[in-house]
């Protein structure tokens, strides 16, 4: 068999291993991801439980990187402390190493059992949880099958004349071997896959024990780089835990490499075979890093914060800045037409602030932090202040003799101002608590549910802009369009609720977790739309287009 054919078979076997690893990971995330997240978050306050929870979650997800990213998001949201996050990641690395140990046993009999059972479960039912368990079993079967394929594909390499030359080169240049292993792990995006590949090749006699230790240390360096690169554009708080893992595990692997090459300690105690020595060295290294990480957790966390702060982009002093201006000129109070124009300008500014609040609140459902929440709440304080100032100003205007149109305009502005203040209260008192609830519990909407929410929000935002235009233009046709849209939005609310309850009946975990948030948000947006639509009623009433309860037929 030619060398190119051998490499092709080997590459195919490695590709199957990577696919199977990802298949198991996604199956566990979809079936039990929310439960595992809640369990992890609930045990993060105790250092020992944090380590154990990280270990268990890494075994379940077959990925320490996934745990690092999850814990980093918790730390960024303020749900857990950074030091507790560091300990959970230490446990995750040990869990990942234990998965490798488990998969090195002879599990060939399990392959057909997993494939048959998993396929039956996946194809025989439409229940989401059973299908995901089937996916997990198929992934485990394919993963074990791929290990056998790697061994079979590499068998012809025993007769290669080039391979011993390459191995001898790397034995003489351990630094290059260390960096190459790190690069391969980063490309695989999985330390489990990288160590399994090495143990399989070592079992065929291709990797000597000393070189295997060097490669294991390189794997740990490469694995520690993955999460910081994936979170490089995230919020600073999210990046602290991955950077701390890089400091402990990455620098730890470099220190251990230096000590290993300098003292050349015996490695026979790690196992009787080279594969056992490689796997046990991987476990031992992560135990050492865990033990060293316990007293150093505080120091590493502070160093991580400083490193993240050095690379952080400067943030504006206030996330949602609105320039403070006032058009309420006291000198114009004796001229009602001018005073009403001034009040209109000020109400328009309130409209702009409310529009910013309405536009930004939906973004916080997707990515929130305390600074943005406080900044949005501060805008409501500004709305309240302007509302009070406008009412006082218009009260002074009414002391003058007003025409009928001026009196109606005064009442229209007061009514609009009251409704805008109510919209701000709904956003801050109703919707922001929902944002906090979602953030603190680490919940996620289903893709369908999120699309429904964003589409509903987009319609309300579009109606808000039209309502603000009517306040200035008094255009009856636009006002009529807004009120008609209010009826259509009521029907959309019913359709959205119906679709949501269908997902609940199907047992979608994300729908169950976010049910109250989803329904309450739709209700709040509908109430906001009703308030904004009612701002246009004076225009319709003036033209006789509004009955007591609805639009008149034309």
For residue 279, the model assigns a pLDDT of 92
* Of 445 and 264, the one with more pLDDT: 264
For residue 498, the model assigns a pLDDT of 79
Looking at the chain, the whole-number percentage of residues with pLDDT higher than 90 is 14
When computed from its CA atoms, the radius of gyration of the chain, rounded to whole angstroms, is 31
* Of 383 and 72, the one with more pLDDT: 383
Closest CA to 501 of 452, 442, 431: 452
Q: What is the mean pLDDT of residues 198-227?
A: 89
For residue 483, the model assigns a pLDDT of 84
Instruction: Give the domains, in start order, of the chain with CATH numbers.
Output: 3-311 (no CATH), 330-542 (1.20.58.220)
Q: What is the mean pLDDT of residues 443-471?
A: 84
pLDDT surpasses 50 at 369: yes
Looking at the chain, the whole-number percentage of residues with pLDDT higher than 70 is 86
Give Cβ neighbours of residue 85 (< 8 Å, ≥ 6 apart).
44, 50, 71, 72, 74, 75, 240, 241, 244
- Distance, in Å, from the CA atom of 268 to the CA atom of 196, rounded to the nearest integer, reads 20
For residue 331, the model assigns a pLDDT of 77
For residue 389, the model assigns a pLDDT of 85
Distance of CA 542 to the CA centre of its chain: 50
Q: Which 8-state DSSP code applies to residue 315?
A: P
pLDDT digits (tens, 9 = 90+) for 379-397: 888 888 888 888 888 888 8
Where residue 517 falls among pLDDT bands split at 50, 70, 90? Answer: confident
pLDDT surpasses 50 at 319: no
Q: What is the mean pLDDT of residues 187-196?
A: 83
pLDDT surpasses 90 at 151: no
Query: What tokens does 183 get?
Result: 């690069």
For residue 506, the model assigns a pLDDT of 64
Q: What is the average pLDDT score of the chain?
A: 82
pLDDT surpasses 90 at 177: yes
For residue 335, the model assigns a pLDDT of 84
Q: Please list, residue by residue across 107-132, b when 16 or more beta carbons sit within 10 angstroms of its beta carbon and e when fewer do.
A: beeebeebbeebeebbeeeeeeeebb
* Of 285 and 54, the one with more pLDDT: 285
pTM of the entire predicted model: 0.55
pLDDT surpasses 80 at 314: no
pLDDT digits (tens, 9 = 90+) for 336-367: 888 888 888 888 888 989 999 998 898 888 87
Q: What is the mean pLDDT of residues 275-284?
A: 92
For residue 52, the model assigns a pLDDT of 83
Q: What is the mean pLDDT of residues 89-117?
A: 86
Beta strands in 27-178 (DSSP E): none
Closest CA to 65 of 213, 279, 220, 295: 220
- Which region among 14-23, 249-258, 542-551 has the lowest average model confidence (pLDDT)? 542-551
Where residue 318 falls among pLDDT bands split at 50, 70, 90? Answer: very low
pLDDT surpasses 60 at 510: no
pLDDT surpasses 80 at 94: yes
For residue 277, the model assigns a pLDDT of 92
């Amino acid at each position: 068999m030619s060398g190119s054919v051998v490499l092709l078979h080997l590459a195919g076997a490695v590709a199957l291993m990577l696919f199977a690893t990802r298949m198991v990971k996604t199956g566990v995330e979809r079936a039990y991801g929310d439960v595992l997240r809640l369990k992890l978050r609930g045990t993060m306050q105790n250092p020992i439980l944090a380590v154990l929870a990280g270990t268990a979650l890494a075994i379940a997800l077959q990925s320490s990187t996934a745990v690092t990213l999850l814990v980093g998001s918790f730390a960024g949201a303020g749900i857990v402390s950074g030091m507790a996050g560091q300990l959970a990641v230490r446990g995750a690395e040990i869990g990942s190493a234990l998965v490798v140990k488990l998969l090195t046993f002879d599990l060939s009999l399990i392959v057909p059992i997993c494939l048959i059972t998993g396929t039956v479960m996946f194809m025989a039912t439409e229940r989401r949880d059973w299908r995901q368990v089937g996916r997990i079993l198929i992934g485990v079967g394919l993963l074990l099958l791929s290990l056998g394929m790697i061994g079979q594909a590499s068998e012809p390499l025993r007769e290669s004349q080039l391979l011993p030359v390459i191995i001898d080169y790397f034995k003489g240049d351990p630094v290059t071997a260390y960096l190459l292993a790190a690069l391969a792990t980063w490309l695989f995006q999985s330390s489990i896959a990288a160590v399994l590949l090495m143990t399989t090749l070592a079992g065929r006699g291709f990797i000597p024990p000393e070189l295997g230790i060097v490669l294991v240390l390189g794997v740990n360096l490469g694995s520690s780089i993955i999460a910081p690169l994936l979170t490089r554009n995230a919020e600073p708080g999210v990046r602290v835990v991955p950077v701390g893992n890089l400091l402990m595990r990455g620098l730890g692997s470099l220190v251990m490499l230096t000590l290993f090459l300098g003292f050349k300690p015996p490695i026979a105690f790690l196992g009787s075979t080279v594969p056992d020595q490689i796997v046990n060295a991987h476990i031992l290294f992560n135990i050492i890093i865990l033990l060293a990480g316990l007293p150093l957790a505080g120091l590493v966390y502070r160093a991580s914060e400083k490193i993240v702060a050095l690379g952080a982009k400067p943030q504006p002093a206030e996330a949602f800045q609105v320039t403070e201006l006032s058009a309420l000129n006291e000198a114009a109070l004796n001229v009602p037409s001018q005073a009403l124009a001034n009040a209109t300008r000020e109400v328009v500014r309130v409209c702009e602030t409310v529009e910013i609040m309405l536009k930004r609140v939906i973004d916080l459902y997707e990515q929130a932090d305390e600074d943005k929440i406080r900044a949005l709440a501060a805008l409501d304080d500004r709305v309240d202040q302007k509302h009070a100032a406008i009412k006082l100003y218009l009260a002074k205007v009414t002391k003058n003799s007003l025409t009928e149109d001026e009196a109606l305009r005064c009442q229209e502005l007061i009514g609009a101002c009251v409704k805008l203040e109510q919209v701000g209260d709904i956003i801050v008192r109703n919707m922001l608590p929902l944002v906090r609830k979602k953030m603190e519990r680490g919940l996620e909407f289903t893709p369908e549910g999120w699309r429904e929410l964003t589409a509903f929000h987009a319609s309300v935002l579009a109606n808000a802009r039209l309502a603000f235009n009517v306040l200035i233009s008094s255009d009856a046709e636009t006002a009529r369009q807004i009120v008609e849209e209010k009826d259509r939005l009521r029907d959309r609310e019913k359709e959205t609720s119906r679709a949501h309850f269908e997902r609940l009946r199907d047992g979608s975990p994300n729908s169950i977790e976010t049910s109250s948030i989803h329904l309450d948000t739709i209700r709040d947006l509908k109430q906001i739309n009703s308030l904004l639509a009612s701002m246009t009623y004076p225009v319709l009433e003036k033209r006789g287009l509004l009955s007591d309860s609805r639009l008149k037929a034309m």
